[in-house]
Amino acid sequence: MFLRNCWYAAAASHELGAGLLARTLLDEPVVLYRKKDGTPVALEDRCSHRFYPLSAGELKDEKIVCGYHGMEFDCSGACVRVPGQKNVPKGADIKAYPIAEKWLFVWLWMGDPALADESLIPEIWRNKHPEWEVVCGDCIPMKGNYRLVADNLLDPSHVSFLHKSTLGTSDVADIPQETEQFGRNVRVTRWILDRTAAPVYARLGGFTTNVDRWQIITFTPPALVEVDMGSCIAGTGAPQGDRSQGIELHAFNLVTPCSENTAYYFWTHVRNFALGDAEISKTVRQQFLTAFAEDVMAIEGVQAGMERFPGKRMVNISADGGGIRARRILDEMIAEEKAGGKVAAA
Ligand code: FES
Ligand SMILES: [Fe+2]
């Protein structure tokens, strides 16, 4: 079951170029493209004639020409030409989805089009801001339910085990994390005060003294998880909000359900240091992709386990606090939407 009246990332902006892009969101096949002025378009990926996927056709003057018998559809989904006849039969139009482009992503509204409101797109402003350098990933398809990603990210204690070879540091898992809920957001916070800097921070931030280090992870429904992390010189006020004496990174993770058991994962990584440094950006991308490949392996392993043992109940531990709250919030929102059919505000 999915929340429908909300925006989901369908593509990173850079992925949508001159051609047709096929994606499946919430079990619905969609074809995306750009008009000549760059405006994105999303249509149902189904020719109304014999249901041949339109994504297998071609673009001609901002219209899709079906690759089977050549029927043409414009960017509103209207069928505008049927080869060999003058009239377009009734019912030949297909669905167009509300679409928007913001913060380096192309967003689709899969629910009631009358409720689509661009102000509900999450404010990922750091993705486009002169004081922040951004690294934007390609879509990563995974064989796992989309909620498993929030589970994974809201419990950073897995870093010590799953990412032993990449990010893992043994000191982190032993320091307790705090979980809080505000409105429909969940936040997990961990401060590691007055310790030597982790190697990666020591290198990037040039620290020679002890640091105060943080991991602050915030879930916004349906599927955005922001990981705010960084280090400042110990005792310079970072826990109170002064981050001027250090470095800061944010990972924005967006998950979009394809089906019940599959999802797309999108990400950006932004930093407030080494602006314009292509070498650092390359390292960030490599490290992130290596670590995330480990997460995908775990998520797909969990999904396979759930399918293999359908009658068994999972055991929860205290580190699951954030993930459990996120699930509960999403369940409430889905129930509310089913009951009233309106936008359940995040
Ligand atoms: S299936 Fe598209 S025109 Fe026939
Ligand atoms: Fe991870």
Q: What is the pLDDT of residue 126?
A: 97
Alpha carbon distance 229, 204 (integer Å): 13
Structural domains of the chain sorted by starting position, each given as residue range(s) with its CATH number in brackets: 7-117 (2.102.10.10), 122-340 (3.90.380.10)
| 83 ligand 1 Cβ < 6 A | no
Q: Return the exposure string of 285-320: e unless at least 16 CB atoms fall within 10 Å of the residue's CB, then b.
A: eeebeebbebbbebbbebbeeeeeeeeeeeeeeebb
Would you state the structure tokens that stand for residue 271, as one six-digit string?
A: 């930093």
Ligand nearest to the CA of 54: 1
Q: What digits encode the pLDDT tens for the residues 103-162?
A: 999 999 999 999 999 999 999 999 999 999 999 999 999 999 999 999 999 988 888 788
Q: What contacts 323, CB < 8 A, 6 or more positions away?
A: 150, 151, 154, 155
For a pocket test of ligand 1, which of 52, 60, 85 has the largest count of ligand atoms closer than 8 A to its C-beta? 52
| 32 ligand 1 Cβ < 6 A | no
Overall residue count recorded for the chain in this entry? 346
CA of 67, closest atom in ligand 1: 2
Q: What is the pLDDT of residue 1?
A: 85
Within the chain, which residues score under 70 in pLDDT? 165-173, 341-346
Q: What is the pLDDT of residue 200?
A: 76
| 82 ligand 1 Cβ < 6 A | no
Q: What is the pLDDT of residue 344?
A: 56
> Is the alpha carbon torsion for 146, 186, 135, 43 positive or negative?
positive
Alpha carbon distance 79, 54 (integer Å): 12
| 68 ligand 1 Cβ < 6 A | yes
Alpha carbon distance 224, 262 (integer Å): 16
pTM of the entire predicted model: 0.94
Q: Whose CA is nearest to atom 4 of ligand 1?
A: 69
> Is the alpha carbon torsion for 75, 76, 77, 80 positive or negative?
negative
